[in-house]
Each structure stands twice: as C-alpha cells, then as structure tokens.
Chains A and B, each alone.
Chain A
C-alpha cells in the first residue's frame, strides 16, 4: 500500500505570508495527487487535482506542483479565511484513496 506523509504537521504564519506544505508518497504516483481544505466543523473541499490543476472557483493564491513522489502545495499570500487543515490524497487504479495526515494552518 502507498503511504502518504505531509510536513509540517502544523504551521503558524502571518496574513500575507507565503505558505508551503509538502507531501511525499512512498512510491511513484505520477500526478495522481489531490489537495483538500477542511475548515473547522466543515466537510473537506477539493482545491487542487492532478497535482497542479486548480478546481473551478478556487482562488488563484492556491497552487500545487510536483510529480512522482514529491509534491508541494502553496498559498501565495495567506488570508484569514485560509485557516484550515490541508490534506493531500492519492489514489490507485481501483479508486482506493489514501489521505495524508494533514497540515493545520494557523494565523500568527
């Protein structure tokens, strides 16, 4: 089974800061990597699919990159409404999904 790791597990940044989260897969997953945002008490929402494609309606300050085993998620200018936990997620050819452990983003 493919394992996903994320770092950091939490971070604190100021409004306007650039925030970067990394996600690593235990084996090559090409671009089969999505990113979700989960705000407290809410269901998750899809932000990025296929490693770098922005979901419709998602602000352009969010972006993703990477392929193979190493991926990066970036918020170019952190906003107060971005307080959330962010999860990477991969899948296999049977549609079995695996989520990373999550990164909790706080405002400093």
Chain B
C-alpha cells in the first residue's frame, strides 16, 4: 500500500525538543523529495520544509529555520524532523507529504494523516 505514516507527536513544553518520524511504504522512497506541511488548529496549511530525494538538499520556512532539521534515511524508507526550541506557535498537525513531478510541475500527491504537536507549559 502506497502511504506515508507520521509518528512522534505529543505535548511538550516551550523550549524543549521533539523528533517526528515519517515511514514510507509502497513506493521507491529514494527517488522522491519529501515535505513537511503543518496545520495549526482551525488554520490553513503552512509549508515547513523539504528534503531532496538523496537527502543532500534541505530548505526550510523562515518560521522554523535554525530550529528544525530534516534528515532522510533511504535505507529505512524513513524521514525525520528534529524540532528544537519549540514555541507555542509550533502547535499544529504535522503532515509528511511526498513530492511528485507531474508533466513538468512539482506537486504533493501523497499526504500522511499527520501527527499532532502541542507546545504548552
């Protein structure tokens, strides 16, 4: 079954760290770039970060740059998002999402259901 499944969410205090994982199955993981997209409660979608297919290139939204770090383990079909110095505004559902090039255009064609991160004292 073609899917990505997130884990690792939870409740954490401001300033602490959390690591999210994304497990991929049913497709060739090492040929895909992968994004994290988050959605705060009742709010819209916010792009967080992307990592290239081989893990060599990583780009982050300004809101998380310097605090979040992406890594990709193609041997395990896994993606990780290390989140440090968490803030209350990082509270959101975090979706792992596969990038796919279609007809020359980049898209997200596969989304996980997400894992909830709550930052609260």
Contact = CB atoms under 8 A, between A and B. Distances in A.
A and B part of one assembly: yes
Contacts of B109: 46, 55
A46 B45 contact: no
B105 A99 contact: no
B59 A99 contact: no
A100 B95 CA distance: 17
Interface string B89-116: 0000001000100111111110111100
A106 interface: no
Contacts of B107: 34, 46, 49, 55
B46 A99 contact: yes
B47 A50 contact: no
Interface majority SS (helix, strand, loop, mixed), chain B = strand
A91 B106 contact: yes
Contact of B102 (A1, A38, A53, A87): A53
A101 to B, nearest CB: 5
A50 B44 contact: no
B44 A95 contact: no
A50 B108 contact: no
Interface size class of A (residues with CB under 8 A): 20 to 34
Interface of B: 33, 35, 37, 44-47, 50, 52, 57, 59, 61-62, 95, 99, 102-109, 111-114
Interface of A: 1, 31-32, 34, 36, 38, 43-46, 49-50, 53, 55, 85, 87, 89, 91, 94-102
22 contacts: A1-B62, A32-B106, A34-B107, A36-B45, A43-B111, A44-B45, A44-B111, A49-B102, A49-B107, A50-B103, A53-B105, A55-B107, A55-B109, A87-B45, A94-B50, A94-B59, A95-B52, A95-B59, A96-B59, A97-B47, A100-B44, A102-B44
